[in-house]
Amino acid sequence: MTPPSEIRRQVIHQSKCVVVKVGTRVITTNSGILDRDRIDCLSYQLCKIADTGRQTLLVSSGAVGAGVAKLRLPERPSGLAQLQAVAAIGQTDLIQAYEVSLGRLGRHAAQVLLTAADLRRRGGYLNVRNSLNQIHSFGAIAIINENDSVAVSELMTTFGDNDRLASQVAGLLPEALLVILSDVDGLYDGPPLAEGSKRLDIVPQINDNILSMAQTHNSKMSRGGMESKLQAAKIATSYGHPTIIAPGRDNQVLEKILAGESVGTLFLPPERSLKGRKRWIGSAAGTDGSIVIDGGAESAICQKGGSLLAIGILELKGSFTRGSVVSIHDQNGTELARGLTNYPSSEIKKIMGIPSEQISEKLGHRPYECVVHRDNLVLLND
């Protein structure tokens, strides 16, 4: 069995990109204002990583917290318009703090504000990736945040929190290591402050047992918690990216991680992970409709590695064109997979439930044998 220390060293050695996520509680004081000393310390460590030649990116929360403090509000607002305005006011302080700190070390901060909609379109997904790569080529460090000033939760354009955003950013890049800096030391097998609770050093697989260990954290300033961080780690590892949840208030945490020390909890990716287009289909892309399938089709795509044929389709929801991303559900409503459809919804309505050889009779043509080909299909629980 490979020693944990060697596993960590291998993970670091193989990582060509490091995505660091820092939460509001880490970079603000107890009174909610930006902790400039903490940002200086973090910036120094980011530059040390960049000096190794690795692409270095920071996903930073704190815009709302900074705005709340700047406006001297008693607590984080609950209204959407208020939150957007506070975020816009606070974002200027946040990016300025990073620019000043990085500038002292000879690097620039590149502000990148994203919404989930930016990654839903394949073109947008690729454009964001290319932009991040160019920022790296200029020797700058991308400081990424959700664009809270325009993201509207009612329209489902938010990532939910910056933990998930960080996992999506890691998914854009090859051979990335995701580091989530938290106000706890890592994942514990019990309440972190309880006597007898132990920090898990390495987690080979994120399963239901691991997810059940999440402890809820309440704060007036932030949205995340251990559950959110575990979900982000699950997404990132599904892309093949190892993830570390580590103590953000350790002044040398990133240096220790890069040295392979036992800091935080390391989550390992499975041997099989989503790549390229399937990565986009399975997570970032928005769905334009849904398909309900029978038990035979479920067995074919989930257990036998097959494509989705028209004969297995029971119900169709939504209107979409050929090439759209559709969600595939079982008869109980559970989403099983997502994929690119070969046929528009208008044609699927005519051919669902019939064998492939009869498609020509219904449509007058049969450009494809299947509705969703296996190569363009992603199982969500694979």
Domain ranges for the chain? 4-274, 287-379
The CA–CA distances, whole Å, from 349 to 202, 291, 316, 374 equal 48, 10, 7, 21
* 303, 337 Cβ separation under 8 angstroms: no
CATH 2.60.40.10 fits 287-379, yes or no: no
The CA–CA distances, whole Å, from 137 to 34, 124, 243 equal 29, 20, 24
pLDDT for residue 215 = 52
pLDDT for residue 382 = 59
Strand order in the sheet with 325-329: 313-317, 289-293, 325-329, 335-340, 377-379
**Which phi-psi region, left, alpha or beta, contains residue 128 (left: φ > 0; alpha: ψ -120 to 50)?**
alpha
For 353-373, what is each residue's pLDDT tens digit?
Answer: 999 999 999 999 988 899 999
* 26, 183 Cβ separation under 8 angstroms: yes
Token duo for residue 146: 């959700």
Compute CA 210 distance to the chain's CA centroid, rounded to the nearest angstrom.
18
* Phi, then psi, of 199 in degrees rounded to 5: -75, 135
pLDDT for residue 351 = 96
Residues of the chain with pLDDT under 50: 153-158, 160, 216-224
Element spanning 293, H or E: strand 289-293
CATH assignment of 4-274, given 3.20.20.80, 3.40.1160.10, 3.40.30.10, 3.30.43.10? 3.40.1160.10
> What does the chain come to in residues?
382
Residue 338: which of 302, 311, 376 has the closest Cα?
Answer: 376
Token duo for residue 234: 């699950």
The CA–CA distances, whole Å, from 334 to 96, 281, 371, 378 equal 45, 18, 19, 15
Q: Distance (Å, rounded) from C-alpha 308 to C-alpha 372?
A: 5
For 100-144, what is each residue's pLDDT tens digit?
Answer: 999 999 999 999 998 777 877 777 777 888 899 999 999 999 999
Q: Model pTM greater than 0.85? A: no
pLDDT for residue 148 = 62
